[in-house]
């Protein structure tokens, strides 16, 4: 969305194309924050009968966790900062920055785009 805080609403815009019953599933995330969305998604996937579900994330913010989430594969653990770049955005901007950086002064980012 266009906010710094989550609406806590999970919307499925595209469902799976394949049946996952009896299969090993790996969910790949860009960033895990509170864990609320993932908990809902993992429950939905678990109801489809996979043999296993593993979780992989590029970035993990454990200090923001509100629910327990078991993450098997973590690229980087980060502090509680709003990060941009490498696909992460703010209001559909800055996702094309070729690195992950902490959002600071938006004016500086505007001049670099």
Q: Are 37 and 57 in contact (CB under 8 A)?
A: no
Q: Are 34 and 67 in contact (CB under 8 A)?
A: yes
Q: The tokens of 39 are what?
A: 């908990």
Whether residue 33 lies in the annotated active site: yes
User: What are the φ and ψ backbone dihedral angles of 106, each rounded to 5 degrees?
Assistant: -65, -30
Please pick, among 33, 70, 89, 107, the residue that the annotation labels catalytic: 33
Query: Strand 83-84 vs strand 101-102: parallel, antiparallel, or unpaired?
Result: antiparallel
Which residues have a catalytic role annotated?
Answer: 33
């Amino acid at each position: 969305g266009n906010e710094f805080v989550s609406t806590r609403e999970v919307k499925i815009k595209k469902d799976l194309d394949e049946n996952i019953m009896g299969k090993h599933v790996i969910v790949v995330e860009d960033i895990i924050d509170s864990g609320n969305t993932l908990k809902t998604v993992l429950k939905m996937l678990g109801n489809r009968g996979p043999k296993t579900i593993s979780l992989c994330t590029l970035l993990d913010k454990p200090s923001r966790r509100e629910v327990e989430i078991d993450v098997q594969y973590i690229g980087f653990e980060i502090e509680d900062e709003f990060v941009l770049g490498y696909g992460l955005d703010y209001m559909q901007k800055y996702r094309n920055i070729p690195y992950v950086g902490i959002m600071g002064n938006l004016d500086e980012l505007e001049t670099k785009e």
